Amino acid sequence: MKEKQLVFIDFEFSMPERYKYPRGFFPEIIEAGVVVTMDGEIVEQYSTYVKPTAFPKLTHRCKKFLSITQENVDNGITFQSLVNYFSLLNAKGIDKVVTWGNMDMKVLRDNCAKTKIEFPFEAKFIDLSMEYKRFFGDRNQTGLWKAVQEYGREGVGKHHKALDDALTTLHIYKLVEKDKKYLEKAKPPTIGDRIDLSKIYNQLA
């Protein structure tokens, strides 16, 4: 039986100051967290800062919100190096790439397009936030850490830390998959489950 390899990804992006959008601004990946599983077991974790090029200087809002310093990204890898890493993962054979929300893949595609670098993945993409929404019938999409807390659990590490968020996404994925299997195995109720037969017996006695 073929081993099932999944890749869980979370990115943090650059952001402008509030209400101040420089001409041509677009979010760039500045931190990446990756967790690779094989048949449900973690086989690899990867965490790195990425050096932005279009807007290399981080805003005060970005540094404060993400707890990232200018030095962190200045010493980070290039975007090309990040894509090269993903291409190596893709070459190994990936069943699914799982993210919380659709922004991660949108920004990755956009960054690839703007730098004229080929998009590295061919696998099926799963937006776990939408699966979670459909599974629980929520009207609105739920934030990553709110979702895990709704399960009565806590997120892994620190929120808005890319690797920690990727690990938390894996955590929720396992919980949702476990619930799906439980519902699949659940037997339909019998008529005895639906009706309190003791009341009927008492009436006939």
90-119 pLDDT per residue, tens: 999 999 999 999 999 999 999 999 999 999
- The yes-or-no verdict on residue 37 having pLDDT over 90 is yes
Closest CA to 156 of 141, 167, 144: 167
Going by pLDDT thresholds of 50, 70 and 90, the confidence category of residue 143 is: confident
43-73 b/e with 16+ CB inside 10 Å = b?
eeebebbbbbeebeebbeebbeebebeeebb
Give residue 157's pLDDT: 60
- More confident position, 146 or 112: 112
Backbone φ and ψ for 200, nearest 5 degrees, come out as -65, -40
Beta carbons of 59 and 68 less than 8 angstroms apart: no
Of 63-67, 131-135, 187-191, the one with minimum mean pLDDT is 187-191
Q: Which of 44, 160, 171, 184 is catalytic?
A: 160
The pLDDT value recorded for residue 118 is 97
With cut-offs at 50, 70 and 90, classify the pLDDT of residue 160: confident
Identified catalytic residue from 12, 28, 31, 171: 12
Q: Quote the CA–CA distance of 74 and 121 in Å, as a whole number.
A: 26
**Does the active-site annotation cover 60?**
no
What's the confidence (pLDDT) of residue 141?
Answer: 63
Q: Give 46-80 pLDDT, tens digit per residue.
A: 999 999 999 999 999 999 999 999 999 999 999 99
Q: Is 12 a catalytic residue?
A: yes
pLDDT band at 12 (very low <50, low <70, confident <90, very high): very high
Model confidence at 126: pLDDT above 60: yes
Characterize the bridge pairing of strands 5-13 and 29-38. antiparallel
Give the mean model confidence (pLDDT) for residues 154-172.
83
pTM of the predicted protein model: 0.83
CATH superfamily to which 5-204 belongs:
Ribonuclease H-like superfamily/Ribonuclease H (3.30.420.10)
Cα separation, 26 vs 137, in Å, equals 33
